[in-house]
């Protein structure tokens, strides 16, 4: 969220104002009493807050109270606003856009910069793409002062703020690399009265793969009440689960096989409700947990199990499925395709149960889609 991004900015010397995060209109009023003319900003993990009415200027504490009342509880792009940030109002003279991101397809970093930033940046990118500069960054050599100058020149930062921009670019690159981010975005990077540059907004995506070992401190940025409850539950149990918005629940072993199952369900005309990799060597208890988790999603209308036994033994999976269905009665169709290690034993165990067998992954996908949407 913006207020967290700004904490990281401050840590690495990017000029910004932290402000105060509050959850009630009363607290907003109190913060506004301290700041005077201020801005009340919705804190949600989505862009376009300003356009959605989630960013408002307040001249008095009462006005801050009023805006906070309206913004708290508001929905922006499907996300409920539970927090607002109060910062001193510093109206920009000019607004620039600046970001560093991981450019996976080109195996490098990319800097995107424009002197026509602000809430219309998407529109500028469409109608006047030349105004939005894309500058590739070699991750090996990174961004030193020379490269920062090159970027500032290419982006056409005006003379009056040029040196500040160079310093800012170097500091933002430190946020990007030192924190193992995949995105660092500032929009607007504002030119304030007196030609002062400041990050008035911020967005940072951190690479989860780096959090456990390299950045145990990143755990502080996780906001428990903002995480999808099913994903939170999965994380607690150490399950590899991603919630999707379809109706066919899916369990498979191995990320590749699960991705393939999602594709097959889509191809058969259905929509997957989740990604769930039960992992290698899955034991019955784990399979049981997976089934329980998926069935907590009220959208699920059918369950597809796709197991190719390798290290994972198919009979262990079958055992897990059977115990799961003893305690949770999903009352919805379940189709299983089981192959590989101990497949024959596994299939024999499922015989006579409510689980419909399928010979191939494609057949299984077609069957579950037929049954789930019947």
Ligand X SMILES: Nc1ncnc2c1ncn2[C@@H]1O[C@H](COP(=O)(O)OP(=O)(O)OP(=O)(O)O)[C@@H](O)[C@H]1O
Q: Which residues are catalytic?
A: 97, 185
User: CA–CA distance from 228 to each of 39, 288, 374 (Å)?
Assistant: 29, 21, 29
Q: Which stretch binds ligand X (CB under 6 A): 7-15, 85-93, 287-295, 357-365?
A: 85-93
> How far is it, in rounded angstroms, from Cα 282 to Cα 316?
7
Residue for token digits 């502080």? 220
Site string for ligand X, 191-210 (x = CB under 6 A): ---------xx---------
> How far is it, in rounded angstroms, from Cα 39 to Cα 55?
7
Residue closest to Mg ion (Cβ): 201
Q: Which of 201, 247, 264, 277 binds Mg ion (CB under 5 A)?
A: 201
Calculate ∠ Cα 148-151-156, nearest 5°: 125
Tokens of 365: 């996908």
For residue 50, state whether it binds ligand X (rule: CB under 6 A). Answer: yes
Query: What are the b/e assignments for 338-368, b being 16+ CB within 10 Å?
Result: bbbbbbebbbebbeeeebbbbeebeebbbbb
Count the residues of the shown chain that bind ligand X, applying the rule CB under 6 A: 20
> How far is it, in rounded angstroms, from Cα 155 to Cα 149?
10
Q: Which stretch binds ligand X (CB under 6 A): 41-49, 101-109, 124-132, 265-273?
A: 41-49
Q: Which of 4, 187, 253, 289 binds ligand X (CB under 6 A)?
A: 187
Q: Which stretch binds ligand X (CB under 6 A): 43-51, 206-214, 235-243, 327-335?
A: 43-51
* Partner from ligand X, Mg ion, none binding residue 136, C-beta < 5-8 Å depending on class: none
Alpha helices in 36-118 (DSSP H): 61-71
Count the residues of the shown chain that bind Mg ion, applying the rule CB under 5 A: 2
Q: Which stretch binds Mg ion (CB under 5 A): 53-61, 65-73, 179-187, 234-242?
A: 179-187
Q: Which of 47, 142, 310, 357 binds ligand X (CB under 6 A)?
A: 47
Length of the chain: 374
Nearer to ligand X by Cβ, of 192 and 242: the residue is: 192
Q: Which of 4, 87, 182, 187 binds Mg ion (CB under 5 A)?
A: 187
Count of H-run helices and E-run strands, the chain: 12, 18
- Asked whether the beta carbons of 285 and 324 are under 8 A apart, the reply is no
Q: Which of 20, 69, 92, 283 binds ligand X (CB under 6 A)?
A: 92
Q: Which residues bind Mg ion (CB under 5 A)?
A: 187, 201
Q: Which residues bind ligand X (CB under 6 A)?
A: 39, 41, 47-51, 55, 87, 89-92, 95, 118-119, 187-188, 200-201
């Amino acid at each position: 969220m913006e207020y967290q991004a700004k904490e990281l900015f401050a840590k690495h010397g990017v000029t910004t104002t932290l402000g105060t995060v509050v959850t009630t209109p009363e607290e907003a009023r109190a913060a506004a009493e301290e700041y005077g003319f201020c801005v009340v900003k919705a804190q949600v993990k989505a862009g376009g807050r300003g356009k959605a009415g989630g960013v408002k200027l307040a001249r008095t504490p009462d006005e801050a109270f009023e805006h906070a009342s309206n913004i708290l509880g508001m929905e922006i792009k499907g996300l409920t606003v539970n927090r607002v940030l109060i910062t001193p109002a510093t109206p920009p003279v000019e607004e620039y856009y600046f970001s560093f991101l991981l450019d996976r397809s080109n195996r490098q970093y990319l800097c995107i910069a424009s002197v026509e930033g602000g809430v219309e940046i998407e529109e500028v990118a469409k109608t006047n793409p030349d105004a939005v500069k894309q500058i590739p960054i070699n991750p090996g050599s990174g961004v030193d002062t020379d490269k920062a100058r090159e970027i500032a020149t290419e982006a056409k930062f005006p003379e009056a703020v040029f040196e500040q921009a160079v310093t800012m670019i170097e500091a933002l690159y430190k946020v990007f690399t030192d924190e193992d981010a995949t995105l660092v975005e500032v929009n607007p990077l504002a030119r304030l009265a007196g030609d002062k540059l400041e990050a008035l907004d911020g967005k940072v995506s951190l690479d989860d793969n780096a959090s456990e070992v390299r950045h145990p401190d990143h755990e502080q940025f996780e906001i428990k009440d903002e995480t999808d409850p099913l994903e939170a539950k999965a994380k607690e149990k150490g399950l590899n689960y991603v919630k999707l918005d379809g109706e066919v629940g899916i369990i498979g072993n191995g990320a590749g096989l699960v991705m393939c199952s999602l594709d097959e369900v889509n191809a058969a005309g259905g929509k997957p409700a989740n990604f769930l990799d039960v992992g290698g060597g899955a034991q019955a208890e784990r399979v049981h947990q997976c089934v329980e988790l998926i069935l907590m999603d009220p959208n699920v209308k059918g369950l597809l199990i796709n197991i190719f036994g390798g290290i994972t033994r198919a009979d262990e999976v079958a055992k897990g499925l059977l115990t799961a269905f003893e305690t949770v009665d999903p009352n919805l169709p379940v189709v299983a395709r089981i192959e590989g290690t101990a497949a024959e034993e596994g299939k024999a165990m499922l015989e006579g149960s409510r689980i419909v067998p399928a010979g191939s992954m494609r057949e299984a996908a077609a069957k579950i889609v037929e049954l789930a949407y019947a």
